[in-house]
Amino acid sequence: MEFSETLIAQQQVARLQALLEASRQIHSTIRLDEVLNIALKIVVRELELTGAFFAAFEHTYGDVSPHLRELLRDDSTPSGPSLSGLDPSGESWLRFPLCDKSGARFTDLVVIFPSSRTLDLDETDFLESLAVQAAVAIENARFHERTVQWQRVQSDLDAARMVQRSLVPQEMPQISGYELAARSVTCYEVGGDYLDLVARPSGETIIVVGDVAGKGLASALVGMSFRSAFRAMVNSNLPLLEIATRMNLLHYSEGTEARHRYVTAFLIRLDTSRNIIEAVNAGHNPAFLMDAAGNLTRIKASGTPIGLLPFSSYKAVEHPLDPGTRLLVYTDGMTEVFRGEEEFGEPRLAEFFTQSKGLNPQATVDALFETLATFSLGYDQSDDMTALVLSRDPRAETAIDGTNG
């Protein structure tokens, strides 16, 4: 009797040691395929089974017939030993569920053995314990894979952000008698706001502030496509109105997905020889034009956003830029800054612009972003924000008169 108890104790110790070694091997790697292969190899070799596999993965070890594997891939197949000989080879099986940290079952360890053999209690205990260890190791390996994938995606997004930032004008052009300032901030790594300035050989400057519907990478890609087409048309010396019309038809013709990413755009042609701007507002927020006396004019949309409809009738409007006149063009992220449920809104933006008439364009842009940050109490916002301020030197007329005199 004493000898028998000693033998049982030795067997239990040996089984525990085997389990500890198996656990060590399973947790020795963070690669998912290696975890699966090690676990299956231990199961088959330690218990001298016919074969084993995980129901939710393609990995197998030992002799597993495709028929039996396909049969047991179905989660509705009852777990537990079966001697019914469903497989032509007359094999039996046991299923051990693997659960994640929340207790949700994500796969089964299926072990196969001859129908002439019965697994004893120690062997099934070993398999149950091994299944628990395998579940932890598999979950860790899958988390590691997701982390690596996310790091790869993050790296790509970082590169995309650098490319997009490099395409935004790094310095405002020096235009005699005028000042320009702008800033564009994305709420994610990349965004759908678009800001560009292109100088023509004639001395005119073409400016666009755009906003692609949506946010993130998809909108950024559309914005890059928009940029290429816009610059090509500007460099072809097309009139502003024709640029807007062609851009609309081109964008719409690129298909359903592009139409979902339509672009609101405010296009400007600055003509310093006549001291005027020509503006086309394609479904964009109204721009604010303020004269030296503080009178504010809203330049509203004259047509639909670019790419939304196959044909849209736009209107180009000229506005004189007398000395001291200032222009603010922005995307809706500037007005859709929230403090709880309260929106900053267009009236507050107009009031800010009116009160900032003593500031130069760069100081105006800086003060605007500071005002929005103060209003929102520093909370992150859910939309990209872009603002551009153009002003004509209030001393320009005097200087011209003096020259002419």
Which of 148, 174, 195 lies at the terminal end of a domain, its last residue?
148
How far is the C-alpha of 348 from the C-alpha of 42, rounded, in Å? 69
> So what's the pLDDT on residue 400?
43
Write out pLDDT tens, residues 172-189.
889 999 999 999 988 877
Residues 82 and 120 both lie in one domain: yes
Which domain CATH number covers 18? 3.30.450.40
74 shares a domain with 176: no
Lowest mean pLDDT among 69-83, 143-157, 164-178: 69-83
**Average of per-residue pLDDT values in the chain:** 85
Which residues constitute the domain of residue 354? 160-404
């924000």: which residue's tokens? 385
Q: Which helix (H) or strand (E) holds 388?
A: strand 385-392
Structure tokens, 388:
């551009």
Confirm whether 268 is domain-assigned. yes
DSSP annotation of 169:
-
Tell me, yes or no, whether 131 and 222 share the same domain: no
Confidence of residue 170 (pLDDT cuts 50, 70, 90): confident
Q: What H or E segment, with its residue span, contains residue 33? A: helix 32-47
Residues 6+ apart with CB under 8 A from 390: 178, 179, 180, 207, 268, 270, 277, 326, 327, 329, 361
pLDDT the model gives residue 402: 39
Residues 41, 114 share a domain: yes
Boundary (domain end) residue, out of 115, 148, 181: 148
User: Do 344 and 392 sit in the same domain of this protein?
Assistant: yes
pLDDT tens string 342-375: 999 999 999 999 999 889 999 999 999 999 999 9
Q: What local confidence, expressed as pLDDT, does residue 404 receive?
A: 38
130 and 62, same structural domain?
yes
Q: Which residues pair with 259 in a beta bridge?
A: none
Calpha distance 399→85 (Å, rounded): 102
Q: Residue 294 sits in a domain of what CATH number?
A: 3.60.40.10
Distance CA 238, CA 200 (A): 11
Instruction: Look at residue 153 and tell me if it is in a domain.
Output: no
pLDDT grade for 144, boundaries at 50, 70 and 90: confident
pLDDT band at 20 (very low <50, low <70, confident <90, very high): confident
Q: Is residue 5 part of a domain?
A: no
If one compares 75 and 121, the residue with the highest pLDDT of the two is: 121
Number of domains in the chain: 2
Mean pLDDT of 146-171: 77
Residue 3 in any domain: the answer is: no
- Distance, CA of 72 to CA of 80 (rounded, Å): 12
